[in-house]
Amino acid sequence: MMGQAKASYAPLAAEAFDLTEVYREHAETVSRWVRRLVGSESESEDVLHDVFLVVQRKLPGFRGEAQLTTWLYAITVRVVQDRRRRGRWRQWLPFGATAEDELPTETPNPLQALESQQAAELTYRLLDGLRENDRTVLILFELEGLSAEQIATVTGTSRTNVWVRLHRARNRFRAAFEKVRQ
């Protein structure tokens, strides 16, 4: 969760920000966010690379006004959304095959692994039916456990907007879930 990441990191002075340092400190955390938001391990590596490319470009302008983790989270969310939007266009192109879903499988035994894999597969399939912004809000709220305020900060919107999106996302997710069960 973002709160945990925040607690483990003391913000550095503006001049202390260095890409190598930031990567060493935060790459794991960011990669976890990426895997959660993307839902595919093979794609996650490329997304993580994209995230840190943005970080590399924007780091000189980061003055520590916000928590570094919040800043990184916001970049991650934006990069994932952009990439998924581009991917939606690519899927219509003959050469733009999307990556196959490789879902997180950190489970102790094969049976649980199978159940987890099936649950994750269904969950991300249903999530993919949502609008990109709604999908992000739902993941951040339900799976990442962020509060509405934190989601508003990360996505750059208002709290009200977050609630509206969450409500809409839940309704659609629920409807899709019911349809799948039937």
Partner 1 sequence: MKINERWIDRPTDGGTADDRIGSLLRQLPPAAPLPPDALMRVKARLRRRTGSARGRWLRWATVAALLILGNTGLVFATREVMRWFAARRAPTLPVPAVPPPVRKHASAQAPVAAGPAPVEPAATIEIPAVEKLWRHARAVRQPAVETAPAPAPIPSPPVVQAPAETAALLPAVAAPPARASAPTQPMLATPAPTPASGSLAAEAEVLTRALQQLRQEGRPAEALATLESYAERFPGGGLRREAAVARVDALLALGRKEQALAVLEGLPLEEVGRADELRVIRGELKAARDCQGATADFDRALAGRSPASLQERALHGRAACRARLGDAAGSQADLREYLRRFPDGRFTDDVRRKLVPSPTP
Which residues lie near partner 1 (CB under 8 A)? 19, 23, 27-29, 31-36, 41, 44-45, 48-49, 52-53, 56, 104-107, 115-116, 119-120, 122-123, 141-143, 145, 148, 163, 166-167, 170, 173-174, 177-178, 181
Q: Which helix (H) or strand (E) holds 113?
A: helix 110-127
Task: Select 91 or 160, whichever has its Cβ closest to partner 1.
Answer: 160
Phi, psi of 46 (to 5 degrees): -65, -40
Task: Select 91 or 107, whichever has its Cβ closest to partner 1.
Answer: 107
Task: Select 91 or 171, whichever has its Cβ closest to partner 1.
Answer: 171
As measured in angstroms, the least distance from the Cβ of 70 to partner 1 is 18
Buried b (16+ CB within 10 A) or exposed e, 72-97: bbebbbbbbbebbeeeeeeeeeeeee
As measured in angstroms, the least distance from the Cβ of 177 to partner 1 is 6
Task: Select 91 or 115, whichever has its Cβ closest to partner 1.
Answer: 115
Here the tokens at position 145 are: 């456990």
Three-state helix/strand/coil letters over 13-56: CHHHCCHHHHHHHHHHHHHHHHHHHHCCHHHHHHHHHHHHHHHH
As measured in angstroms, the least distance from the Cβ of 94 to partner 1 is 27
